[in-house]
Amino acid sequence: MNKGVPKVEKGLGITARRAIAYVVLVLISILCLFWFYVLFINATRTHADLTRGFTAIPSTNLWNNWKNLSAGRAASALPIWNGLFNSFLIAGCSAILCTYFSAMTAYAIHVYDFKLKKVMFTFILMIMMIPTQVTALGFLQLIGRMGLNDSFIPLIVPAIASPSTFFYMKQYMESALPLSLVEAARIDGSGEFRTFNTIVAPIMKPAIAVQAIFSFVASWNNYFTPALVLKTDTKKTLPILIAQLRSADWLKFDMGQVYTMIAFSILPVIIVYLFLSKFIVQGVAMGSVKG
């Protein structure tokens, strides 16, 4: 008669743990989303309202903030739409090049067997430990000699070499890409590029989508390198324009415009994430488990 009691108690324990997990996840989600809510609320308020403190109720000045920002009032005129286009161009091209060539490099390391395979893998991972700031001076000297100052090329082409993306792709291939599939394609007469583009790339779609999101966001939010390379106002990206808006003369400084500008710069990232978010759970789960 009492044999079913342990099963009932075990079921209740699992239910309790699951309920606690859901509560914790909800609290963490609220904590993460709260700052976005504060941002969009502050974007609807004037500078005078913001100086009075925080309020959870949105105001009605969002359109006025946007008009003043677009017209260059209370601050120097900023080429906002140029900045949006520049950020999209640099982030989009960087994400495409980063994910494609990192996946191709991971494919070569995963599939081919050669003497320096482990050495090359270790060397690529060692590059992850070098901060961007350490190589900035040499990078600027190099692009100066090549005549690429104030150009998008130095911000896009180096994205091809991304050790962190390569490592993620390599781990994903070990769990999702059997070598027998590649061997079968070779037996059928498929070339290496055709095998990669028509067989491997579709299998890697979740990983590519995840890394495309990360690469796009990293390039979109990048301020350090574009600030060193870009000099013309019409070529600057949104993070640089936001920094210029924040550093305006205190007599012309308008915090409402700053919040509106930041909200404007975040929306494209949210849109990109919504389009690719269905792959992120699958990609992260499979990329973190080695089969």
Tokens coding 41: 């609320």
For the stretch 188-232, pLDDT in tens is 888 888 989 888 888 888 888 888 888 998 999 999 899 999 988
- Would you say residue 1 has pLDDT above 70? no
Q: Which domains does the chain have, with CATH numbers?
A: 4-71 (no CATH), 80-287 (1.10.3720.10)
Q: Token pair 């990078």 is at which residue?
A: 139
Tokens coding 173: 């291939």
For the stretch 77-126, pLDDT in tens is 678 888 889 999 999 999 999 999 999 999 989 888 888 888 888 888 88
Sign of CA dihedral 288, 223, 263, 212: negative
- Residue 153, classed as helix, strand or coil, is helix
Tokens coding 202: 């579709």
Q: Which residues of 30-48 are buried (b: 16+ CB within 10 A; e: fewer)?
A: eeeeeeeeeebbbbbbbbe
Would you report the helix, strand and coil content of the chain in percent, each value rounded to 5? 75, 0, 25
Assign 291 a pLDDT band (cuts: 50, 70, 90).
very low
Assign 76 a pLDDT band (cuts: 50, 70, 90).
low
> How many angstroms separate the first and last alpha carbons of the chain?
43
Integer Cα distance of 165 and 104 in angstroms? 11
Report the pLDDT value the prediction gives residue 204, as an integer from 0 to 100. 87
How many C-beta atoms lie closer than 10 Å to residue 173's C-beta? 22
Distances (CA, A) of 178 to 168, 175, 183, 198: 17, 8, 9, 15
Report the pLDDT value the prediction gives residue 86, as an integer from 0 to 100. 94
How many C-beta atoms lie closer than 10 Å to residue 6's C-beta? 9
- Would you say residue 183 has pLDDT above 80? yes
Q: What is the average per-residue pLDDT within 151-174?
A: 90
Integer Cα distance of 202 and 75 in angstroms? 48
Distances (CA, A) of 281 to 135, 210, 240, 277: 34, 9, 32, 8
Task: Quote the crossing angle between the two packed helices 255-276 and 80-111, to the nearest 10°.
Answer: 40
Integer Cα distance of 156 and 153 in angstroms? 5
For residues 43 and 241, the answer to whether their CB atoms sit within 8 Å is: no
For the stretch 235-290, pLDDT in tens is 999 999 888 887 766 666 778 888 888 888 888 888 877 777 776 666 555 544 44
Report the pLDDT value the prediction gives residue 290, as an integer from 0 to 100. 44
